[in-house]
């Protein structure tokens, strides 16, 4: 039950409400009205707290406390540190309070203004590239003036700073709530992931972490976090696991290695690709590549013996790596079969295990057909004649496309027209680039 309002002498209710709404309140008048029990609704305070607008501390606190937001001040450790400008307790900006977006972006106000502050998300976002290990809690007075640059950057004409009680950034990260974690970008989340409170690792947070394209289990050092991710993925029903894999291929990293049997891997390859509800074929192709790479890595780690037929299907049909082939499977027949596929032959030629089956004639044939490059053939076949042949093939293709008869092409990007029909030495170094006349 709300406390009854006993208005101060000489004040009406409307007087007090206007005082509580004022962007530049009188401290004494505001205290009298608040002590009397006059309040603004949370909804009204929320409507007033918008970027680009000055509000008083009472309105600001009412709005932010409703959302459970705590405010902090961090100090970047630079040569010309502003740390000496602060005191424990009340800090006041003696300059006229006239903030704006224009001033911020023109003069970098948030970097220099001694009374700029932020919330937990703002601290975390600024950890990347800045050197600070501690933050300080900020309390806004009811009669302060506050300006919001955005939802995570603020400045005030005065605030109370707990300068004698610093908080480590690790502690701040540990105390982040679910909404803070879910709102983090991938790059920021990567910075803080090992300090997240394991108790916050619910379904939504696990999916958030697993869905980040920059992650693998090896970039997460906290074993408790890894264990929570593993437990979540293992708890999924097959149908839900399939849905998650189609969106977040990295979830495969958090399944036990023993589960990657031939049956399970075939199930992923056959059904995960088909059941992805994506209309954009390019997006589908990219997702298939990510799933393939992740599955490929787990299969290699598992050391399980897969049938030769299944491995060949993985490589030729699903474009997994030839690293899946065990040494015992590297035969002339396998080499011949793999060389039939344009997307594989380059990798085959670059793999030392297949070098025994490669001939000079095959190198010439495949370079002419542009199925392999000079860089991928075995070292013993790398002659200047073969290099010149590759360049000539490239030039022939370019001439055909551009309908040109006579050009010069450098080893870089430069292309030059040539009137005469002289064939120069293709191995000569002209202006630091091999050039060939056609």
pLDDT at res. 415: 42
Mean pLDDT of 312-325: 89
The string of DSSP letters for 6-44 reads -PPTT--HHHHHHHHH-SS--HHHHHHHHHTT----HHH
CB distance 143 to 74 below 8 Å = no
Phi, psi of 168 (to 5 degrees): -70, 150
CA–CA gap between residue 262 and residue 265 (Å, rounded): 5
- Could you identify the residue written with the tokens 């302060």? 144
pLDDT at res. 86: 86
pLDDT at res. 424: 37
* Lowest-pLDDT choice from 38-42, 111-115, 292-296, 314-318: 111-115
pLDDT at res. 343: 86
| pLDDT tens figures, 346-384 | 888 888 899 899 888 887 887 777 788 777 878 787 777
Q: Which residue has the higher pLDDT, 21 or 416?
A: 21
The string of DSSP letters for 169-214 reads HHHHHHT--HHHHHT--HHHHHHHGGGS-GGG--HHHHHHHHT-TT
Inform me whether the pLDDT recorded for 75 exceeds 90.
no
CA–CA gap between residue 217 and residue 227 (Å, rounded): 10
pLDDT at res. 421: 38
Inform me whether the pLDDT recorded for 211 exceeds 90.
no
Q: How far is CA 115 from the centre of its chain?
A: 31
Phi, psi of 167 (to 5 degrees): -120, 135
Inform me whether the pLDDT recorded for 431 exceeds 60.
no
Q: CA 32, 34, 36 angle in degrees (round to 5)?
A: 70
pLDDT at res. 284: 56
Which tokens in the block code for residue 111? 């970097």
Which tokens in the block code for residue 152? 């995570």
What percent of the chain has a predicted confidence (pLDDT) above 90? 29
Closest CA to 255 of 290, 223, 298: 298
Q: Mapping DSSP to helix (H, G, I), strand (E, B) and coil, where does residue 107 land? A: helix
Q: Which residue has the higher pLDDT, 365 or 132?
A: 365
Mean pLDDT of 140-156: 91
Inform me whether the pLDDT recorded for 175 exceeds 70.
yes
Mean pLDDT of 93-111: 64
Residue 227: pLDDT band (50, 70, 90) is very high
pLDDT at res. 35: 93
Closest CA to 369 of 384, 383, 352, 390: 390
pLDDT at res. 275: 59
* Lowest-pLDDT choice from 257-271, 315-329, 377-391: 377-391
Inform me whether the pLDDT recorded for 404 exceeds 60.
no
CB distance 245 to 272 below 8 Å = yes
CA–CA gap between residue 34 and residue 16 (Å, rounded): 8
Mean pLDDT of 155-170: 92
* Lowest-pLDDT choice from 6-20, 185-199, 211-225, 239-253: 211-225
Closest CA to 338 of 313, 363, 364, 362: 313
Q: How far is CA 275 from the centre of its chain?
A: 26
Output the pTM of the full model: 0.63
Rounded to a whole number, what is the largest CA-CA distance in the chain? 106
Q: Which residue has the higher pLDDT, 311 or 179?
A: 311
Average pLDDT over the chain, rounded to an integer: 80
* Lowest-pLDDT choice from 68-72, 223-227, 290-294: 290-294
Phi, psi of 138 (to 5 degrees): -115, 135
Instruction: Return the DSSP state at 163.
Output: T
Inform me whether the pLDDT recorded for 332 exceeds 80.
yes
pLDDT at res. 13: 93
Which tokens in the block code for residue 262? 């031939």
CB distance 363 to 377 below 8 Å = yes
Inform me whether the pLDDT recorded for 214 exceeds 70.
no
| pLDDT tens figures, 288-297 | 777 888 888 8
Contacts of 196 (CB under 8 A, 6+ apart): 173, 174, 176, 181, 205, 222, 225
| Residue 370 region by backbone torsions, left for phi larger than 0, else alpha for psi between -120 and 50, else beta | left
Residue 251: pLDDT band (50, 70, 90) is confident
CA–CA gap between residue 189 and residue 208 (Å, rounded): 9
pLDDT at res. 273: 64
pLDDT at res. 22: 95
């Amino acid at each position: 039950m709300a406390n009854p309002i006993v208005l101060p002498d000489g004040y009406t209710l409307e007087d007090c409400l206007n005082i509580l709404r004022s962007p530049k309140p009188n401290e004494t008048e505001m205290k009298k009205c608040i002590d009397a029990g006059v309040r603004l609704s949370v909804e009204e305070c929320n409507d007033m707290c918008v970027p680009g607008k000055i509000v008083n501390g009472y309105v600001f606190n009412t709005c932010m406390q409703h959302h459970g937001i705590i405010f902090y001040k961090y100090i970047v450790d630079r040569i010309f540190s502003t740390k000496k400008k602060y005191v424990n307790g009340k800090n006041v900006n003696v300059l006229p309070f006239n903030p704006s977006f224009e001033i911020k972006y023109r003069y970098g106000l948030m970097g220099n203004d001694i009374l700029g502050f932020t919330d937990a998300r703002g601290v975390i976002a600024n950890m990347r590239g800045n050197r600070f290990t501690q933050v300080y809690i900020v309390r806004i007075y009811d009669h302060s003036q506050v300006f919001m640059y955005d939802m995570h950057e603020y400045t005030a004409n005065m605030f109370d700073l707990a300068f004698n009680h610093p908080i480590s950034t690790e502690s701040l990260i540990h105390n982040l709530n679910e909404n803070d974690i879910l709102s983090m970008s991938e790059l920021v989340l990567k910075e803080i992931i090992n300090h997240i409170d394991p108790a916050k690792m619910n379904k939504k947070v696990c999916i958030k972490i697993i869905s980040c394209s920059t992650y693998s289990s090896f970039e997460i050092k906290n074993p408790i976090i890894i264990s929570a991710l593993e437990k979540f993925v293992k708890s999924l029903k097959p149908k839900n696991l399939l849905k998650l894999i189609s969106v977040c291929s990295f979830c495969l990293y958090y399944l036990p290695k023993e589960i990657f049997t031939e049956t399970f891997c075939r199930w992923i390859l056959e059904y995960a690709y088909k059941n992805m509800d994506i209309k954009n074929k390019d997006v589908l192709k990219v997702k298939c590549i990510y799933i393939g790479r992740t599955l490929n890595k787990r299969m290699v780690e598992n050391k399980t013996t897969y049938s030769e037929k299944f491995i060949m299907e993985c490589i030729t049909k699903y474009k997994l790596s030839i690293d899946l082939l065990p040494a015992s499977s590297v035969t002339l027949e396998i080499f011949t079969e793999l060389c039939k596929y344009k997307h594989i032959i380059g990798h085959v030629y670059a793999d030392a295990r297949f070098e025994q089956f490669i001939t000079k004639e095959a190198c010439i044939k495949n370079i002419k057909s542009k199925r392999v490059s000079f860089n991928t053939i075995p070292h013993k076949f790398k002659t200047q004649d073969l290099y010149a042949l590759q360049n000539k093939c490239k030039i022939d293709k370019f001439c055909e496309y551009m309908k040109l008869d006579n050009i010069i092409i450098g080893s870089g990007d430069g292309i030059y027209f040539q009137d005469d029909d002289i064939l120069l030495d293709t191995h000569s170094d002209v202006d630091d680039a091999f050039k060939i006349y056609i």
